[in-house]
Every structure is written in structure tokens, then in C-alpha cells.
A and B are shown apart, each in its own frame.
Chain A
């Protein structure tokens, strides 16, 4: 990010979320279609804050959206009420999505960061 001089700054130390004004409210535009500004936290990679990562199992998921609602960092990706996966650029590995998942076995489980997702899915536990 380019450093600016005092005379180039916006008064109030404010940051606009998007590079351009949208034709409609941002909430009506899908995240992948929003013109995020460089200073928007969407553009920042914070995935390396994680020690454990949530892995998502499509075969078990009932699309209840609990994880989407509870995620404190908007890192559960869902479209038209269908779960798609986890945004690993922003997920910080808190585990709340796993905690609230109601299926048996859970459709989201925490694994070590270095375990590949395919291997994680292969060692998924059985129903209790």
C-alpha cells in the first residue's frame, strides 16, 4: 500500500470499503462481485493466524446455516442457502463452526493446519 502525505488523506481517517460507489446497497451484491478497496480487510490475508483449521464435509452437511450465522469472521461461504466451504484467507481457526454443527458425525471438524483436506476427509469419524 502506497504511503500518502498528510495533504492527500481523507479527513477523519475514514476508509471506504469499495473503490467505487455501487448502484445498489452492498448487501444486495455478492461478495465476489463487490469492488473491494485495497484497504478493505477483505483484501488482507490473515489465514496464517490459524493453528487448527475447519474442514468441511459436503456429504454430511444438511445446509442448516448454523456455521454461517455463528462464524465471527464471515469465513463460511454459502450461496442460496447452500454451504460451499471455508474462506481460508480469513478464517482464524476459532472452531465455533464445529461447535455449532448439529449433524452426527459433524460436517465440520478441526484438523492440524498441515493436514491436507483430502486426507482429513478420509479419516472422518463414524456416527456415534
Chain B
């Protein structure tokens, strides 16, 4: 029996510690991991919890991230609660197996500490790896601070493991800006957390020898399409309701309210920033400042990045005049992913705001209060003119001549 850990009402944890404590409290059966900066401390803390008797489970050291996720797939198919962590290049190496995990409908929890993708090599935070995962069939939740990294990791188990869902879940946090920044975190006690997550209920477990099952079948053109359609249909129709249900249960337990799309001061907002990660909170702070300058600013943030909250985004931005979509990943030859998703969503509304795209913060480049102020001012001009007063895509915080397109 695992030992319980005494926690303070308020702990000062960085995002990595927050995630590893949530994994410990969920009493994961198997963690197969190959550590990589900046997510290394998640599995390092986890293995130390295990070695010190705080977890009943297995920690499997493997030879690569591909093997890490493969180990997770095997353990999850066998019938255990499974989780791991990664970042950046490790995430990229895992990507082949990410599709295996979701296609086999294995509810693995992957805590992703977002980091830039090489080349050039960089250990700092941006959203390149998170974006790389967006077509992999996983549920993707995004934390904007350390508390949320903890809360969402606990909730991820309950969402993904539900027998009506059975999908793997990524919980994203910003590399260093969240993962290595210590903040106030209010944890649940071990008992409360485990009660919330619930005991793992296996479904179609490979090691059930009275009812054996084959995972990883081959299908060609006669069956493959139907299986992929089934997975997509479940993502599109079942996940939103389940996420809301788990968010509600979490609010009842902790008082902390989560939404599929978070809205800050959107009741009367005329201009809005749409962003992910820590940038959401910095933008929220700046939106408050802009209100003092007479600009009705708000912030909209997809808490759930996949499946894409199409209806919730349409509703959140139904009445605004100008929107800025902030992408922290190089689009490499296109408009940003968030821009494309938001624009496609709002195209179906009667009110079509002016929508512009900002590329920022690559490789951990600081996103400052001044950057957000400048964006809100440009949005205000777009709202007043009723058309873009700037190019559609602009780079923020970049040295050299101003870079923009369209």
C-alpha cells in the first residue's frame, strides 16, 4: 500500500512538480518514460515518489520516447492506468506511437511541457510540439499556470478513462514559463484527489485471459475508413459533454471553475485576443489595463484545443468587432493554426469580425505586457475602421525589419 504524502493547503510548486504530484495522487500503474528538458522533473519527481514508497506502480526506463509511448501503449492495452511526460524532440519521436495510442483508444495521460522544435536547437517554450499533436486523435487540454497544470492532469484521467470516451489525453503547459516557475498551488489531499480521479476500470484488457482481445489489427481500404470515422465521430460528439461533466464535478470539489473555452471580460468586449498557455493570463492582465484607456478588451482561450471547440468559439466571439489570434509556433508557409481554426469557426456567424494573426514567442522569446498592449491598440483601430489596418499576419518581438504577410 502506497504511503500518503502530507501536503500544505498552499504549496509553492513549479508546473513540473504540480504535474508529477497529480500523477502520484492518481496512483498510475505504469509510467514508461525517457526524460527530456523541460519535462524531465515530472518523471524524475515521479520516480523518486515511487522509490520512496508513495506509489504502487512500475516505472519503466526505456531507450527513447518512441519506446516510452510504446511501453505506455502496451501497458494500457494490458489493462493499467498509464501516464508519461515529454517535450519537443521527444514528442516528435513519439508522434508515430501517438496515433497508435489514440487509434487503439487507450486512455493514456501525457503531460506535455511545450518546447520549441529544432533546428535550431532550443530548450525553451513555444507551442510547436502542441501543434504537432493536433491531428493525432488525442484530447488536448491546455494549462495557463501551475495550478491548472495540476488540476487538468487529475481531470485528464477521469475524462480519458471514461468508458464512453476511451481516448488518450495530453495536458499541456508552457516550458519554463510554467514548468520551471514556482507559484502558489492549492493541492487536494491524497484521498480527495484519488477519490476524484476514481479507481481505474479496465475495458477490453488484453490480459483478461477469459476474454482475450487483439490490439493493433491491420485494416486495409475495406475497414480502415470506418475505424477512423468512428474515432473522429467520438471526438466530435462525446468529448465535449464529458469534459464539461468533469469540469463541473471538479468545481463542486474545489470551487475552481474550468470551461471548454475560457472567456475573460467578454460580456461587452469589442476586441479580443485569442491565445494559449501563459500568454492568456498576461493578455488578461493587459485587457484590464486597456479598459482604463477606454478600449473594451477581452481574452478568449481554448482550454480544450482538441477536439476543437467550434461552437464554443463561435459563441464566445459572436459580438466582437476585431480578433487577434496569437500563434506561438512557426506556421512555416501558412497563416497560424489558431488563426485558421478561429476564422473557420467565425465564418459561420452572421457577425464576422476583422481577424488578424500574430506570430510571437518562438523559442521562448518573451511575450511582454507592451506586446499585448500594442496588439490591443491595433485591434481597436481595426474595430473602428471595420477592416484590417495592419497586415493579416505579423511577427511580434522579432529583430530586424518588420515581418508581415498579406
Are A and B direct contacts in the complex by CB distance below 8 Å?
A: yes
Interface code A1-31, partner B: CB below 8 Å = 1, 0 otherwise? Answer: 0011111011111111110011111110000
Which chain B positions have C-beta within 8 A of A7? 230, 233
Interface code B185-216, partner A: CB below 8 Å = 1, 0 otherwise? Answer: 00000000000000000001000011111110
Q: State whether B104 touches A21 (Cβ < 8 A).
A: no
Tell me the smallest distance from the CB of B220 to a CB of chain A, in Å: 12
Q: State whether A11 touches B209 (Cβ < 8 A).
A: no
B267 within 8 Å of A by Cβ?
no
Q: State which of A6, A10, A12, A25 has its C-beta within 8 Å of the C-beta of B210.
A: A25
Q: State whether B213 touches A14 (Cβ < 8 A).
A: yes
Tell me the smallest distance from the CB of A24 to a CB of chain B, in Å: 6
Interface size on A, residues (CB 8 A): 22
Interface code B226-266, partner A: CB below 8 Å = 1, 0 otherwise? Answer: 11011101100000000000000000000000000000000
Select from chain A the residue with minimum beta-carbon distance to B206: A14
Give complex CA distance A18, B227 in Å: 21
Q: State whether A13 touches B210 (Cβ < 8 A).
A: no
Tell me the smallest distance from the CB of A18 to a CB of chain B, in Å: 7
Tell me the smallest distance from the CB of B153 to a CB of chain A, in Å: 23
Q: State whether A15 touches B209 (Cβ < 8 A).
A: no
Give complex CA distance A16, B215 in Å: 9
Q: State whether A6 touches B229 (Cβ < 8 A).
A: yes
B222 within 8 Å of A by Cβ?
yes
Which chain B positions have C-beta within 8 A of A16? 204, 211-214
Classify chain B's interface size: 20 to 34
Select from chain B the residue with minimum beta-carbon distance to A12: B105
Select from chain A the residue with minimum beta-carbon distance to B204: A14
Q: State which of B215, B219, B222, B226 has its C-beta within 8 Å of the C-beta of A5.
A: B226
Known: A6-B229, A9-B226. A14 touches B104 (CB 8 A): yes
Q: State whether A13 touches B219 (Cβ < 8 A).
A: yes
B103 within 8 Å of A by Cβ?
yes
Tell me the smallest distance from the CB of B264 to a CB of chain A, in Å: 36
Q: State whether A14 touches B214 (Cβ < 8 A).
A: yes
Q: State which of A4, A6, A26 has its C-beta within 8 Å of the C-beta of B212.
A: A26
Q: State which of B104, B166, B211, B233 has its C-beta within 8 Å of the C-beta of A13.
A: B104
Which chain B positions have C-beta within 8 A of A6? 225-227, 229-230, 233
Which chain B positions have C-beta within 8 A of A11? 105, 166, 230-231, 234
Which chain B positions have C-beta within 8 A of A9? 226-227, 230
Which chain A positions have C-beta within 8 A of B212? 16-18, 26
Interface code B37-71, partner A: CB below 8 Å = 1, 0 otherwise? Answer: 00000000000000000000000000000000000
| Interface positions of A from 12 to 53, Cβ below 8 Å from B | 12-18, 21-27
Known: A5-B226, A6-B233, A17-B214. A12 touches B103 (CB 8 A): yes
B324 within 8 Å of A by Cβ?
no
Give complex CA distance A63, B166 in Å: 47
Select from chain A the residue with minimum beta-carbon distance to B102: A12
Give complex CA distance A121, B229 in Å: 55
Q: What would 17 more interface pairs be, CB under 8 Å, given A9-B227, A12-B103?
A: A6-B229, A6-B230, A7-B230, A9-B226, A11-B105, A12-B106, A12-B215, A13-B217, A13-B227, A14-B213, A14-B217, A15-B217, A16-B214, A17-B213, A21-B210, A22-B210, A25-B209
Listed A/B pairs (15) with beta-carbon separation below 8 Å: A6-B230, A10-B204, A11-B230, A11-B234, A12-B103, A13-B103, A13-B217, A14-B105, A14-B204, A17-B212, A18-B211, A18-B212, A22-B210, A23-B210, A26-B209
